[in-house]
Amino acid sequence: MTSSTYDAIILGAGGAGLMCAATAGQLGRRVLVMDHAPEPGRKILISGGGRCNFTNIHSAADRYLSANPHFAKSALGRYRPADFIALVDRYGIAWHEKTLGQLFCDGSARDIVAMLMAECDRGQVDFAFSTDIGEIGHADGRFHVAGYTAPALVIATGGPSIPKMGATGIAYDIARRFGLKLVEPRPALVPLTLGGEDVLFRDLSGVSAEVIAQAGKTRFREAALFTHRGLSGPAILQISSYWRPHTPVEINFTPDAPEDWLCAIKRDKPKATLKGAVSMRLPDRLSLALVERLSGNEANWGLMPLADMKDALLRQIGARLGRWAFQPNGTEGYAKAEVTLGGISTAELSQRTMEATKVPGLYAIGEAVDVTGWLGGYNFQWAWASGVAAGQGLAAR
Ligand SMILES: Cc1cc2nc3c(=O)[nH]c(=O)nc-3n(C[C@H](O)[C@H](O)[C@H](O)COP(=O)(O)OP(=O)(O)OC[C@H]3O[C@@H](n4cnc5c(N)ncnc54)[C@H](O)[C@@H]3O)c2cc1C
């Protein structure tokens, strides 16, 4: 074997590529990881506010979006959050659960990258950083990339989210080059923008509230945040993955309010104003904006005592606050999207090994594939699990 000849070339030194390389290397395969970046794991380093939300203990296939919702079950079932936690523990990396099963490093995301590089080292993995992939040759069952050659090639170059971190859509170009189908990619876990009548809400930039956000039948209860362009915060990022253009996002601003709560306040405190009553459940600025929008041009209901308002009207207002329809005019796009929905179609891949059924020796893993997780550690768990599945597949060749 010459120095430019390997058992597998892995394109992309992100979470999925490093995990795949470490697995195959430790199982005895000679592996090269290639990346155009000068260093590994750039998205890991910026993830979770620098603390990397490295998994979610509730990871299961129903928390991932894909044209085939069953595809991820095999890999996720064979490499579980507990497996990654055991690895993190072996390296003495301290972690904590923040909320909703999300696990973060106590220290820095750098610890995760260092751990993955140490695992690659144990597998004697070689690296070619700052390397352009260029044209990929394929002849006689061998792949040729940037002067290196191997009988197996793994696409682990992620999706185009956050181009300024070096993200590109090269995974899709490679897939097309080999005749693999794509599910149309689009930005996900991304802030939504508001236009038209809703621009008024931009004045609320910085205000947040716990809400239930709903698109179609899917709903998430978490914080929503108004921004100078529209809506963000975990509830909105989550729902953005399910939102389709020209459809509304419904926000329940009063998720814990009992039915007829405004009538109940009216009975207890008849002199309270509508704005005062709404402020009991929502931040002041938000209450004011919502009540003003509800009043329209007719009257300023905000300052009206509840005693002067009919129960039927209060019920109507309560219902609107529990089901406020925003009509987003778009998203903040790949520049702000944490992940990319869609990608290389799972119909082209073995769910066990992630190998392309039509092109023996070609694999695709991580975010490049049409499997996208919820916010909260799910996407890394998919990167680890699909990387391990492909690494074991490479070793079994
Ligand atoms: C700001 C932010 C925060 C996030 N926080 C979390 C979190 O806390 N928890 C979580 O689960 N998920 C998080 N995610 C999502 C998570 O980072 C990704 O899902 C995950 O990194 C995907 O791993 P991957 O290995 O498939 O791709 P990537 O990590 O994107 O790795 C792809 C690699 O391929 C290389 N590459 C790309 N194009 C080329 C090219 N043309 N030539 C050569 N090399 C190329 C890149 O340099 C990169 O090293 C976050 C994402 C962002 C943007």
Percent of the chain with pLDDT over 90: 94
Q: What is the pLDDT of residue 317?
A: 95
Q: What is the pLDDT of residue 379?
A: 98
What is the arithmetic mean of pLDDT over 84-94? 98
Specify the ligand 1 atom closest to the Cα of 40: 49
What is the arithmetic mean of pLDDT over 245-271? 96
Which of 157, 341, 354 gets mutated to test ligand 1 (max ligand atoms within 8 A of its CB)?
Answer: 157
Specify the ligand 1 atom closest to the Cα of 165: 47
Pocket of ligand 1 (CB under 6 A): 12-17, 35-37, 42-43, 46-48, 52-53, 133, 156-158, 161-162, 166-168, 170, 338-339, 366-368, 377-380, 383
109 CA from centroid of ligand 1 (Å): 13
Decide: helix, strand or coil at residue 238: helix
Nearest protein Cα to ligand 1, atom 21:
43
Specify the ligand 1 atom closest to the Cα of 13: 49
pLDDT at 8 over 70: yes
The pLDDT tens digits for 274-288 are: 999 999 999 999 999
Q: Which two tokens stand for residue 117?
A: 């590089």
Specify the ligand 1 atom closest to the Cα of 48: 8
14 CA from centroid of ligand 1 (Å): 6
What does DSSP assign to residue 214? E
Instruction: Give residue 29's pLDDT band: very low, low, confident or very high (50, 70, 90).
Output: very high
What is the arithmetic mean of pLDDT over 243-255? 97
373 CA from centroid of ligand 1 (Å): 13
- 237 phi and psi angles, rounded to 5 deg: -60, -45
Q: What is the pLDDT of residue 323?
A: 97
Supply the mean pLDDT for the chain: 96
pLDDT at 2 over 90: no
282 CA from centroid of ligand 1 (Å): 36
**210 contacts 223 by C-beta, under 8 angstroms:** yes
Q: What is the pLDDT of residue 299?
A: 66
Decide: helix, strand or coil at residue 337: coil
29 CA from centroid of ligand 1 (Å): 24
Query: The pTM is what?
Result: 0.97
**154 contacts 394 by C-beta, under 8 angstroms:** yes
367 CA from centroid of ligand 1 (Å): 7
User: What is the C-alpha R_g of the chain?
Assistant: 25
Specify the ligand 1 atom closest to the Cα of 379: 11
Nearest protein Cα to ligand 1, atom 13:
47
Q: What is the pLDDT of residue 354?
A: 98
DSSP 8-69: EEEE--SHHHHHHHHHHHHTT--EEEE-SSSSS-HHHHHGGGGT-EEEETT--GGGEE-SST
Nearest protein Cα to ligand 1, atom 6:
47
275 CA from centroid of ligand 1 (Å): 45
Instruction: Give residue 201's pLDDT band: very low, low, confident or very high (50, 70, 90).
Output: confident
Q: What is the pLDDT of residue 297?
A: 65
Nearest protein Cα to ligand 1, atom 19:
379
User: How many CB atoms lie under 10 A from the CB of residue 110?
Assistant: 14
Percent of the chain with pLDDT over 70: 98
Which of 97, 379, 381, 388 gets mutated to test ligand 1 (max ligand atoms within 8 A of its CB)?
Answer: 379
What is the arithmetic mean of pLDDT over 287-315? 88
225 CA from centroid of ligand 1 (Å): 25
Which of 18, 19, 43 gets mutated to test ligand 1 (max ligand atoms within 8 A of its CB)?
Answer: 43
Nearest protein Cα to ligand 1, atom 26:
366
**Segment holding 221, helix H or strand E:** strand 218-226
Specify the ligand 1 atom closest to the Cα of 368: 26
Q: What is the pLDDT of residue 144?
A: 98
Q: Which residue, 10, 336, 50, is CA-closest to 167?
A: 336
Give me the amino acid identity at 219: R
What is the arithmetic mean of pLDDT over 199-224? 95
Nearest protein Cα to ligand 1, atom 51:
338
